[in-house]
Chains A and B, each alone.
Chain A
Amino acid sequence: DAKTTQPPSMDCAEGRAANLPCNHSTISGNEYVYWYRQIHSQGPQYIIHGLKNNETNEMASLIITEDRKSSTLILPHATLRDTAVYYCIVGDQGAQKLVFGQGTRLTINP
Chain B
Amino acid sequence: DTAVSQTPKYLVTQMGNDKSIKCEQNLGHDTMYWYKQDSKKFLKIMFSYNNKELIINETVPNRFSPKSPDKAHLNLHINSLELGDSAVYFCASRRGLAEGGTQYFGPGTRLTVL
Contact = CB atoms under 8 A, between A and B. Distances in A.
A34 B44 contact: no
Interface of A: 32, 34, 38, 41-46, 49, 85, 87, 89, 91, 93-100, 102
Contact of A49 (B4, B101, B105, B107): B101
Q: Give 9 closest A-B pairs by Cβ, nearest first.
A: A43-B105, A100-B43, A95-B101, A97-B45, A91-B101, A34-B101, A44-B105, A93-B100, A43-B90
9 contacts: A34-B101, A41-B108, A42-B107, A43-B4, A44-B92, A44-B103, A85-B41, A87-B43, A102-B42
Interface residues of B, number: 24
Find the residue from A44, A89, A102 having the highest chain B CB count within 10 A.
A44
Interface of B: 4, 33, 41-45, 48, 55-56, 58, 90, 92, 97-98, 100-108
Contacts, number: 58
Contacts of B56: 96-97
B90 A44 contact: yes
A42 B6 CA distance: 12
